A and B are shown apart, each in its own frame.
Chain A
């Protein structure tokens, strides 16, 4: 494997990790506030469709992005309505949101564009285009550093950099601000937060809305950055891989970055090679596909460092018992 191949694989790792990272941070905010979110997949899918559809109609990817975030936040509010206001089962609500997005995107897509549930191919201003960093072209020929700078660091769409910046930002918000402290407290012990005179409901709604915005970015990136348009079921389980990464990261922002980069790397390798030989054993491509899920089960089992979710996760808060 030569240097250029490695750079290319790492480059596509970063691209493929971006939607996972955004969705993973979405789950992080929601679950740290005590709201389980298995509807990441559905929110991403809805955002992917709406952003591609609006970008195709208006020709502006920014309008698409805003509309995609809007769709995702709408579903997030539905999740909030079910799990915060009506104290329903958060897991069942998440399942419903996934199916709602899977069905509606195709039904509406077919009736709007009549090309089998896809949106028209996006081009020009309808897509997020790569951002070339200064001197990227000039430095391209410099050995090692040139390759890393102009291939790996430069030349991604703006949302890739947004996702990377979202990591320190999330860390700062969650661990260095009053809002973050309260948000984490509401996921561990909502009664204490309530006793302190802070609204549990408002905090939890803010958390699901933040999750909606982040999933919206993830979905819009899928349809307008990574690909050039929406196709049916294009999230293809990424919401669940993000969920797996969240558990893998044990609900911490920086670890979320590492986990999603790892899963992105697995996907990039799986896309490039049909099967891989390690130590004389041939691993089939299907194994690479399943690896994120297998790793998550192993981590959940607690054999390699136990993953302990926020204590009040999944429990609706009832003021008086």
Chain B
């Protein structure tokens, strides 16, 4: 018998963990001499009160849905992919190669090819760590960390030595061709009579991210492959006796994971910057870890957690602007969420389980 009902596991415990993370963050704000209540108000107003704020919130959310899904899919096969950052960087290269020189007939065609290219580059960057894990037993966490750094150097080299326009000092590509520009929320919502801020970076990629979340849900819970992935994640010996090839499943789940991380680039590179800059991902690959942990690796949970982190990111920018609290406060919150939901999970789980056992004991 389970020690506690399912809702407690998927809703109550993440909420308690998150509340603890916010509590400690509030103490940090107090410690630096600011008012946590004012801070949270500023964040909410900045993230949700204007369409510009909402646009930024949803833009960040889109990034985090992709990277959160990437970490989740790997988690289901019990692979810890910390390489989302590097895979998303390389995905940006895939997008840039598709968007720089080709004159596309329509943005939908451009988006299709750019997405495929981003996924391909991201998956390629996950390929070697996955293969080494499966065939040579090299720990995937270490290899994906190393590949983040190698990816950064590769991108640095390509941008500085190859893709940088002549005469430019900035390690970045030229602006993309106009045919590869994606419609923003402003353009998409205008025909419906909704006025959305022109300056916000939210674009059509948000819908692609939601679609990706739905497809991951179908994959993990409604296909044979998803069953095999979860099977391997639960017990590799059981999977072996069931005739599931662990090599195949590790490779497939890591390639999907890398591909999803790479696809983030259609949002930040193609949708927002419209050129490839050096540090395009801004740590979104790592936030995917927090998002996946909080979302309990379920696509719906990932979308909700991504929205939460989108809010924290946009709210954090507002805090820096109005309250003079550095943006890095969001990194602290992110760290605490990872700590409480990921590493200190048993600290909350133990007492909550005891409460439920006692309640049940009292009832019977």
Contact = CB atoms under 8 A, between A and B. Distances in A.
Interface of A: 38, 78, 81-83, 86-93, 95-100, 102-104, 106-108, 110-111, 117, 237, 240, 243-244, 247, 284, 286-287, 289-290, 293-294, 296-297, 300-302, 309
Nearest to A233: B328
Contact of A240 (B149, B161, B328): B149
A95 B148 CA distance: 14
10 contacts: A82-B344, A99-B334, A104-B328, A106-B326, A107-B328, A237-B149, A247-B142, A286-B154, A289-B153, A297-B147
Which of B138, B161, B347 has the most chain A CB atoms closer than 10 A to its own CB?
B138
Nearest to B141: A91
B332 to A, nearest CB: 4
Interface residues of B, number: 48
A96 B153 contact: no
Contact of A89 (B333, B342, B347): B342
Nearest to B341: A92
A297 to B, nearest CB: 5
A62 B142 CA distance: 35
B156 interface: yes
Contacts of B342: 88-89, 92-93, 95-96
B132 A95 contact: no
Which secondary structure dominates chain A's binding surface?
helix
Given A81-B344, A88-B344, A244-B146, A301 B132 contact: yes
A103 B146 contact: no
A107 B153 contact: no
Contacts of A100: 332, 335-336, 339
Interface in B154-181: 154, 156-157, 160-161
Contact of B128 (A97, A117, A297): A297
A237 B293 CA distance: 24
A271 to B, nearest CB: 15
Contact of A96 (B139, B328, B335): B335
A95 B331 CA distance: 12
Nearest to B320: A110
Contacts of B70: none
Given A96-B336, A300-B139, A286 B343 contact: no
A104 B344 contact: no
Contact of A293 (B28, B149, B345): B149
Most chain-B CB neighbours within 10 Å: which of A106, A108, A284, A290? A290
Nearest to A112: B32
B217 interface: no
